[in-house]
Amino acid sequence: MRFNVAAAAASAALLAGGVSADDAQKVLKDESSSSTVAEAATSVSPAEIPTFTPTKLKAPFLEQFTDGWDARWKPSHAKKETGPDTEEEWAYVGEWSVEEPVVFKGMEGDKGLVVKNAAAHHAISAKFPKAIDPKGKDLVVQYEVKLQNGLECGGAYLKLLRENKALHQDEFSNTTPYVIMFGPDKCGHTNKVHFIFNHKNPKTGEYEEKHLSAPPTAKIVKTTELYTLIVHPNNTFLIQQDGETVKEGSLLEDFVPSVNPEKEIDDPNDTKPEDWVDQARIPDPDAKKPDDWDEEAPYEIVDEEATMPEDWLVDEPQTIPDPEAQKPEDWDDEEDGDWIAPTVPNPKCFEVSGCGPWTKPMKKNPDYKGIWSAPLIDNPAYKGPWAPRKIANPDYYEDKTPANFEPMGAIGFEIWTMQNNILFDNIYIGHSVEDAKALADETFFKKHPVEEKLEEAEKPKPEENKPSSPSDLKFTEDPVTYIKEKVDLFVTIAKKDPVEAIKFVPEVAGGAAALLVTFIAILASLVSGGSSPAPAVKKAAKDVKEKAKDVKDKAAEAVATGTEKAKEATKRNTRNQS
């Protein structure tokens, strides 16, 4: 006969709770069956996982981190500049690796560029085969981000670096000039998808960052997410997440500071005249305080018309000694002083309007007026709000084509993050919206459904019909939880009031003895065929016996602890009263 040790223990627990042997067998069978079904439903077969195949698409820059990637990508060894106000100096010590994902792997053989160190500065870049000039063309920037450990604080954005023959990848840092910065960034409550571009002032030649004024929110999930930026020659743009548009706008209208400055500005040399009056209302200079205005009158006065309620108990105290309090047995009058019972609210006072000395209440003073002040009138000298006069802006210019970004010579990731294992993959930089979509169809849209299924399988299953309290538990539905919750509840109550624990959870008080008796009966039935019990049965018997003893000891300890604490609390309270 095959015998399951866990089943023996569970059966004994069921029988101890008053459940018949047939019902116990049914409960255990149902538990095993439901577990098997759940495991089958959440599995993903190998046939469902696609295999990576390098794309045949062409683009000005397309990276899938296939063999030879390390000839294109170079980590930076520069120092990060932190500004003149700090003495800290940061080095880009973060390591990079190209590997397959370790969390929710949705495609076989699909490798990506991975951030390997947490709480470190990382920088790496790759030069384009030739400079990308977006003038007069669509610019499409697309890449995948996989936050395998989530993202609490850090960036996962890329930078398209300005074409520069002097660009040395070993020196790539936060000060390296870039044209566009795009991608997710999160820290604390800040969570957004950056879109920043550097704009060159045609008058001064200086560059200024233009930030998207209302960026979309990044998706902080462990599945692969696809970020796409499309900028059209007509200065409109759109941002997509997983192929869905989440933001549309104009380079001329949706960025701060704005691309083009104001035509007119306030005259910095204009000042408000000394006699300018901008106070719209003033106190009436002709108003006078009335003769009967009493500023000394109090806000409240005694209500002289009030009378004491008929049921008011003047001779009854508001508190009385607790009639149920008893002097502790271990009270020592010589050591502890005379014992005095603690006081409680007088129950007679709850049934009437009040007890003790009665005094007339206060009421609002009908003659109260407060401090007098003159009423306000329109100021006859008021001229309105003052503002400096406008003059032509000497720095004004109008750039009608900010989408004509400067040529870009490289791509770089320059980030700091508290989480490692951020993976970047399938980067497309070019001019074809259709090709970017085709690349996503070959990669992202094949693996993303698999990853979502793997993620769903890892989520804890919702507990249906979960009891809202221990009193709602049923022994036959979940015997293990039933026993655990009942014992925990008994122990908690018994530490404060052992008598209440026995009244409220009687199952535990007699459960330990019942568990032992019924388990002996189980053993007798198992060995009644004349053969000696299997080692597994003996072990199960020992385990359950020890568990029963543990429950009994735990309950006894709780009762003892509760009794001692109750005595100590009573003694401490009465001492405080004395």
Q: How far apart are CA 318 and CA 350, in angstroms?
A: 10
- pLDDT at position 485: 72
At 168-178, the pLDDT tens digits run 788 899 999 99
Q: How far apart are CA 518 and CA 538, in angstroms?
A: 15
- pLDDT at position 18: 46
Q: With 50 as the cut, is the pLDDT of residue 4 above it?
A: no
Task: Look at 470 and 390; give whichever has higher pLDDT.
Answer: 390
- pLDDT at position 169: 83
Please choose, from the candidates 212, 134, 123, the residue with its C-alpha nearest in 3D space to the C-alpha of residue 170.
123
Average pLDDT of span 458-486:
65
Average pLDDT of span 138-161:
97
Do residues 281 and 379 touch, judged by C-beta distance below 8 A?
yes
- pLDDT at position 87: 58
At 281-304, the pLDDT tens digits run 999 999 999 999 999 999 999 999
Q: With 50 as the cut, is the pLDDT of residue 10 above it?
A: no
At 26-41, the pLDDT tens digits run 444 444 444 433 443 3
User: How many residues appear in the chain?
Assistant: 578
Q: How far apart are CA 506 and CA 342, in angstroms?
A: 32
Q: Please give the share of the chain, as a percent, with pLDDT higher than 70.
A: 72
Q: How far apart are CA 26 and CA 8, in angstroms?
A: 13
- pLDDT at position 418: 94
Question: How many CA atoms lie less than 13 Å away from 214 in the CB half-sphere?
Answer: 7
Q: With 60 as the cut, is the pLDDT of residue 57 above it?
A: yes
- Collapsing DSSP states into helix, strand and coil, what is residue 234? coil
Least confident of 135-144, 178-187, 518-527, 539-548: 518-527
Q: Please give the share of the chain, as a percent, with pLDDT higher than 90.
A: 65
Average pLDDT, the chain: 82
Q: With 70 as the cut, is the pLDDT of residue 124 above it?
A: yes
For 571, list phi and psi in degrees, rounded to 5. -65, -45
Contacts of 554 (CB under 8 A, 6+ apart): 487, 491
DSSP code at position 102: S
Domain 61-155+162-175+219-251+404-454 adopts which CATH fold?
A: Jelly Rolls (2.60.120)
Average pLDDT of span 137-164:
96
Do residues 429 and 128 touch, judged by C-beta distance below 8 A?
yes
At 489-505, the pLDDT tens digits run 767 766 666 666 665 66
For 548, list phi and psi in degrees, rounded to 5. -65, -45
Residue in this structure with the two tokens 């080692």, named with its chain if needed: 535
Q: Give the H/E segment covering residue 542.
A: helix 535-577
